[in-house]
């Protein structure tokens, strides 16, 4: 046992594999936030006037808002004036048109991460809109997508090329003043993706964006907008890694999904940002607002997330079930180790008739990690025959960690059927013993049991993501039990 504890200690003590800094010069705005910064951001992207007005309105409202403090997380106050709100890789005027033109150092970065663009292209047939810091530097597969009429481009480009489409939907799901971080994002968002799937089109490939946070002290404020028109289907992948840092970095993204009649959007996330060191120094603050609206009959939105990184995660991907018969799903694995804190969950708002939602949340706490599920299932008066099933399971490893469950259920219609179940347990000694006496090493046994615990979520992920997610969990967890 002693030797295995030592080995496990080595494993736990391993450095963050993705921690490195790419040496690329950046155009960075000095730290601070006022109206002129907002104006600069807008002008820099040559945005139409309505976007600037929208940003300024959000900024003014943001100034009147207070930072929320209800989440079950603790952190030092954030100095919003100490953050630089813009950082772009140099030479953004002449963007590379193909991979050959991309800065070799950037390609090297992706290779270190194990996700080079070429491999992505060949392996998965994935179109990658890679966001390196704040400006998109490489977009692929455009032609193939263009053939079926799919628009997949940086949001800044969409604002110029498709202003009417963007104007119609931007902020329609997450209003600029929705909450403190959404307002901040609306004022200073610098990049993100825009996806439009036309009527009846099944997107021929999985769309993917890799975000990286790079330049020192730069918060990143992406904004993603996905619109699936009637009868269309799209699967969108979001994955993140970030270089090692000493200072906390703020990340306040907004993701909006709109699914019209009979459309389906599947949104998958693997998040592996720098979680801070063993003492909780550094690490990313991940305060994200994600929300989807099922605007038409039988629309479907499905969120799948695997959250293993970040010092603090504060994230509630939600679905507004407006159309009759619409469906919302939320599958989540959240892992906290060392001093990580996560307060995550979902909101399912049943508005239309015959709407249904499923929530499967798996929380794993190890070390001194604190993991909270916070969810809301709300059935409004008109939502006849609403159906919800929620299941939140927590796994505890170590006696210094915490697992918490805060579900809210609000029902205003008697025809609703709502079920919520939660359980908390640790890996059973008998389970471990069983595996060990069958000849499995302890960490293999733990990894196997944890993967089994998360199976219901992993099977919702696209294949290549599921592989990555299992690897991530394995790395983060092996040795947490001794």
Partner 1 sequence: MSSVVENAAAYVAAQQDTAAQLPGYGLAELDAGRAAALEQLSRQGLPSQQDEDWKYTSTRSITRAAFKPASAGATCPSDFITQSVIEGLNPYRMVFVDGFLSAALSDLEALPTHVRLRSLAQVLSEDATSVLPKLGQMLGDPPHGFAAMNSAFVADGAVVEIEAHQHLERPIELLFVSGCGDEGLVSMPRTLVLMGEGSQATIIERHCSLKEVRSLNNSLVEIDLGKGAVLDYCSLQSQSDRSFHVGGLFAGLAESATLRATTVSTSGALVRNDARINLNGENSTVHLDGCYLVFGRSHVDNHTHISHNRADCVSRETYKGVLGDRGRAVFHGRIVVKQDAQKTDSEQSNQNLLLSEEAEIDTKPQLEIYADDVKCAHGATVGQLDDLALFYLVSRGVKRETARRMLTQAFAADVLDRVESVPLRQYLQSLAFDRLSNA
Binding site for partner 1 (CB under 8 A): 70, 379, 394, 396-426
Q: Take residue 420 and report the two structure tokens written for it.
A: 């919520």
- Which residue lies nearer to partner 1 by CB, 251 or 347? 347
β-pair type (318-321, 341-344): unpaired
- Which residue lies nearer to partner 1 by CB, 130 or 480? 480
- Which residue lies nearer to partner 1 by CB, 258 or 416? 416
Closest C-alpha among 187, 191, 200, 267 to residue 229: 200
- Which residue lies nearer to partner 1 by CB, 6 or 412? 412
- Which residue lies nearer to partner 1 by CB, 161 or 423? 423
| Burial class (CB within 10 angstroms; exposed 0-12, middle 13-18, buried 19+) of 463 | exposed
**Distance from C-alpha of 217 to C-alpha of 51, rounded to nearest angstrom:** 26
Q: What sign does the dihedral 170-465-446-358 (CA atoms) show?
A: positive
β-pair type (135-139, 127-132): antiparallel
- Which residue lies nearer to partner 1 by CB, 258 or 449? 449
Report the nearest approach of partner 1 to the CB of residue 237 (Å).
Answer: 32
Please enumerate in sequence order all residues whose Cβ is within 8 A of that of 374, keeping only pairs 6 or more positions apart, or say none. 71, 72, 316, 343, 344, 345, 406, 407, 408
Report the nearest approach of partner 1 to the CB of residue 345 (Å).
Answer: 12
Report the nearest approach of partner 1 to the CB of residue 74 (Å).
Answer: 14
Phi and psi, residue 95, nearest 5° = -70, 145
Q: Are 377 and 346 in contact (CB under 8 A)?
A: no
Give the distance between the most distant pair of CA atoms in the chain. Answer: 69
- Which residue lies nearer to partner 1 by CB, 250 or 321? 321
Report the nearest approach of partner 1 to the CB of residue 400 (Å).
Answer: 7
Closest C-alpha among 195, 229, 221 to residue 209: 195
Closest C-alpha among 395, 391, 412, 411 to residue 403: 395
Report the nearest approach of partner 1 to the CB of residue 320 (Å).
Answer: 19
Report the nearest approach of partner 1 to the CB of residue 456 (Å).
Answer: 17
Report the nearest approach of partner 1 to the CB of residue 389 (Å).
Answer: 10
User: Interior CA angle at 245 toward 242 and 248, to 5°?
Assistant: 95
- Which residue lies nearer to partner 1 by CB, 269 or 390? 390
Q: What is the DSSP string of 280-309?
A: --S-EEEEEEEEEEE-STT-EEEEEEEE--
Report the nearest approach of partner 1 to the CB of residue 409 (Å).
Answer: 4
| Burial class (CB within 10 angstroms; exposed 0-12, middle 13-18, buried 19+) of 439 | exposed
Report the nearest approach of partner 1 to the CB of residue 480 (Å).
Answer: 11
- Which residue lies nearer to partner 1 by CB, 53 or 421? 421
- Which residue lies nearer to partner 1 by CB, 418 or 457? 418
Report the nearest approach of partner 1 to the CB of residue 418 (Å).
Answer: 4
Q: What is the DSSP string of 366-398?
A: ETT-EEEEEEEEEE-TT-TT-EEEEEEEEEEES
Phi and psi, residue 14, nearest 5° = -65, 150
- Which residue lies nearer to partner 1 by CB, 258 or 396? 396
Report the nearest approach of partner 1 to the CB of residue 449 (Å).
Answer: 15
Q: Are 350 and 386 in contact (CB under 8 A)?
A: yes
Please give the helix or strand (H or E) that residue 320 lies within, else none. strand 318-321
Please give the helix or strand (H or E) that residue 186 lies within, else none. helix 180-188
């Amino acid at each position: 046992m002693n030797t295995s504890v030592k080995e496990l200690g080595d494993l736990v003590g391993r450095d963050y594999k993705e921690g490195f800094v790419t040496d690329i010069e950046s155009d960075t705005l000095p730290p601070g936030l006022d109206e002129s910064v907002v104006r600069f951001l807008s002008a820099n992207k040559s945005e139409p006037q309505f976007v600037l007005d929208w940003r300024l309105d959000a900024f003014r409202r943001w100034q009147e808002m207070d930072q929320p403090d209800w989440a079950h997380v603790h952190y030092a106050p954030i100095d919003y004036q100490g953050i630089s709100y813009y950082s772009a890789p140099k030479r953004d005027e002449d963007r590379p048109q193909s991979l050959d033109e991309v800065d070799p150092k950037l390609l090297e970065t992706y290779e270190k991460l194990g996700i080079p663009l070429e491999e992505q292209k060949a392996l998965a047939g994935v179109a990658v809109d890679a966001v390196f810091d704040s400006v998109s530097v490489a977009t692929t597969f455009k032609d193939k997508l263009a053939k079926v009429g799919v628009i997949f481009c940086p949001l800044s480009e969409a604002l110029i090329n498709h202003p009417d489409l963007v104007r119609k939907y931007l902020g329609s799901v997450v209003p600029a003043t929705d909450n403190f971080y959404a307002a901040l994002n609306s004022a200073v968002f610098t990049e993100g993706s825009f996806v439009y799937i036309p009527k009846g089109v099944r997107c021929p490939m999985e769309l993917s964006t890799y975000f990286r946070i790079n330049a020192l002290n730069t918060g990143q404020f992406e904004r993603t907008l996905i619109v699936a028109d009637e009868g269309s289907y799209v699967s969108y992948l979001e994955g993140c890694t970030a270089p090692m840092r000493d200072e906390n970095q703020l990340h306040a993204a907004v993701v909006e999904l709109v699914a019209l009649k009979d459309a389906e959007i599947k949104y998958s996330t693997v998040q592996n940002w720098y979680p801070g060191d063993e003492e909780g120094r550094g690490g990313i603050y991940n305060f994200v607002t994600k929300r989807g609206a099922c605007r038409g009959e039988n629309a479907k939105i499905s969120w799948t997330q695997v959250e293993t990184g970040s010092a603090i995660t504060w994230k509630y991907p939600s679905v507004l079930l407006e159309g009759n018969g619409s469906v919302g799903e939320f599958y989540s694995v959240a892992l906290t180790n060392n001093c990580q804190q996560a307060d995550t969950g979902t909101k399912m708002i049943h508005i239309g008739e015959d709407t249904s939602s499923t929530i499967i949340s798996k929380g794993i706490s190890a070390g001194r990690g604190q993991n909270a599920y916070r969810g809301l299932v709300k059935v409004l008066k008109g939502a006849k025959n609403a159906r919800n099933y929620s299941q939140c399971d927590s796994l505890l490893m170590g006696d210094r960690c915490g697992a918490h469950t805060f579900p809210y259920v609000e029902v205003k219609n008697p025809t609703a059927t709502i079920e919520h179940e939660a359980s908390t347990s640790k890996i059973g000694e008998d389970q471990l013993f069983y595996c060990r006496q069958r000849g499995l090493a302890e960490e293999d046994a733990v990894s196997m049991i944890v993967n089994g615990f998360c199976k219901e979520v992993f099977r919702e992920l696209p294949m290549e993501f599921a592989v990555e997610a299992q690897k991530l969990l394995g790395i983060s967890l092996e040795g947490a039990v001794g």
